[in-house]
Amino acid sequence: MSKFAERYGPWAVVTGASAGIGTEYALRIAERGVNVVLVARRRDRLEQLASTIEDLYRVQARVAPADLTTRDIVQVLEPAIADIEIGLLVNCAGFGTTGPFLDMDAGVQESMLNLNCRVPALLTHEIAQGMRERGKGGVIVVSSVSGFCATRGMANYNATKAYDLIFAEGLASELKPYGVDVQALCPGGVFTEFQRKAGLEPRNFGPLQRLIFTSATTVVATSLRTLGHRVTVIPGFMNRLMVFTMRLVPRRVARWFFGLFVEQFIAKR
Ligand X SMILES: NC(=O)c1ccc[n+]([C@@H]2O[C@H](COP(=O)([O-])OP(=O)(O)OC[C@H]3O[C@@H](n4cnc5c(N)ncnc54)[C@H](OP(=O)(O)O)[C@@H]3O)[C@@H](O)[C@H]2O)c1
For the annotated catalytic residues, the residue numbers are: 157
**What whole-number distance in Å separates Cα of residue 228 and Cα of residue 226?**
6
CB of 165 to ligand X, least distance (A): 11
Q: In Å, how far are 4, 25, 85 from 221, measured between CA atoms?
A: 13, 9, 24
Q: Which helix (H) or strand (E) holds 67?
A: none
CB nearer to ligand X: give 68 or 242. Answer: 68
CB nearer to ligand X: give 2 or 70. Answer: 70
CB nearer to ligand X: give 33 or 188. Answer: 188
CB nearer to ligand X: give 137 or 189. Answer: 189
User: Could you list the residues that contact ligand X (CB under 6 A)?
Assistant: 16-22, 40-42, 45, 67-69, 92-96, 115, 142, 144, 187, 189-190, 192-194, 197
CB of 210 to ligand X, least distance (A): 14
Cβ neighbours, 10 Å, residue 105: 10
**Terminal CA-CA length for the chain:** 51
Q: Are 265 and 201 in contact (CB under 8 A)?
A: yes
Closest alpha carbon to 65 in 54, 50, 53, 55? 50
Q: Which helix (H) or strand (E) holds 96?
A: none
Cβ neighbours, 10 Å, residue 206: 8
Q: Which helix (H) or strand (E) holds 37?
A: strand 35-40
